[in-house]
Structure formats: structure tokens, C-alpha cells
Amino acid sequence: MQLRLVSAALVAGLSLGAVPAAIAQTAGGIVVPGLGVANQPAVVGSSNAYKAAIAQLPTVYKAQIDAANTRKAQLQAQLQPMYAKLDADAKGGKVDRTALQAQYAQIQQIQQAGEQELQQLVEPANLARQYVLEQIGDKLEVATQAAMVKRHITLVLDAQSVLKADQAYNLNQDILDQVNATVPSVSVTPPAGWLPRQQREQQAQQQAAAAASASQAGAVAPPKKAPQGR
């Protein structure tokens, strides 16, 4: 199991590709005016704010990361002889299937509990990374709009949904320039109780559903009968 603070898929193999401000025709043919293609995760991962913030995480959260690495080594030392014994017992043929299954189940239980423990140890650093991404992501719409105005673009397509496009349509660098100008740096310390947007929205939906259910239950409840005199 490898601990990662930064998702490799976010930034690996993504090229921003600088594009001239105005191109009417390329070697591939005529360029459709007003059309652009952008890869927002690539822009965020290439921004100065993101790179600087991610570089701070190993220092700011050193205690948590060190604790996770120490615990990981302990788990490996605990599990390695257990796996070796299971393998030897399976090959030796002297241990019945039920006993082998019990050994394997014990190993799986220890490993799963260890993985959960490791996730909890590095959760502050992972939460900080999500906070960094959200701070930059909040500025993407404004940055994209500014880049569209600059390049006279009226329609931007998601590069991850486009099979192939000429570099003349690439709007990444223009958006990146705007992001770097408007978000030079971000914090790596989330406020107390902060949750990523997706979790906040889920909580809001659950609270709204609970409130609607309670309101509906109150509306259909039969009225109490007034006491009758003798």
C-alpha cells in the first residue's frame, strides 16, 4: 500500500500546450471560430498555487505522515510472517482447508483494519489537498470566462470528452494565466470542521430531506380531539 498526497492521475501526462492568440488555419485544416477546448484538472494541477501548496504538505503534515509510515511498516512486519505461514501450510498439505481459510480470514481482517487506520492517520493531509483543490477550483469559472473573452471564444468543450483536437483550440494556457494571476497562493490549513463540497452538499440534501419528511409527517398527523364535558 502506497501513501499518496497527490493524485497522480490529476497531473501526469497532461500538457497545457501554449497556443497563439489568433489562428485562422493550421496544417490540419480550417479552425472553427469561437470554439475552444480545455482540461480543467490539468489547469489546476499546473497552477502556481497548487504546486506551492502541495510542496508544503509534507512539512505541514509531517507528524501525521511519519506516523502513517511507521504504522505501515509495523503492519507489514506483522503480516509478512502470517502470509509466509499461510503459504507454507497450503503447500505442505498437512493443514485442512478450514484452517487455511481461518488463517486467511485473520490476515484479511488485520489488513483491512490497518488500511482504515492508515487512512485516518493521513486524513488531515488528504483533507488539506482537497481544500487546496477547491480554493483553486472556485476561481476556474471566472478564469475561463476571462480567457474566453481574450481569445474571442463562445463555446468551450471539456478536453476529456473530445477524442482529438488541433492545438489551435487549446485554451488551457490562457485559463492557467488567469488562474495564476487571480490565485497566486492558497492555504493548506482547512478551517475547523471544513468538509469538501460534495460532502457538504450531501449533508444539505439529507437535512432538507429530513426537514421535508418531518414537515409532511406533521401535516398529515390527525388533530387532537378536544376533551368533552360530562
Q: What is the pTM of this model?
A: 0.74
Residue 10 and residue 130 in contact, taking contact as beta carbons nearer than 8 Å: no
Averaged pLDDT for residues 112-131: 97
Average pLDDT across the chain, whole number? 86
The mean pLDDT of 186-205, rounded to a whole number, is 93
Q: Give residue-wise pLDDT tens across range 41-96.
A: 999 999 999 999 999 999 999 999 999 999 999 999 999 999 999 999 999 888 89
pLDDT digits (tens, 9 = 90+) for 20-53: 444 445 555 567 899 999 999 999 999 999 999 9
Half-sphere exposure of 172 (CA within 13 A, CB side): 22
Q: What gap in Å lies between CA 223 and CA 65, rounded to an integer?
A: 59
d(CA 130, CA 168): 32
Give the pLDDT band (50/70/90) at residue 215. confident
Residue pair 128/57 in contact (Cβ under 8 Å)? The answer is: yes
Per domain, the residue ranges of the chain are: 46-150+180-217
Confidence of residue 220 (pLDDT cuts 50, 70, 90): low
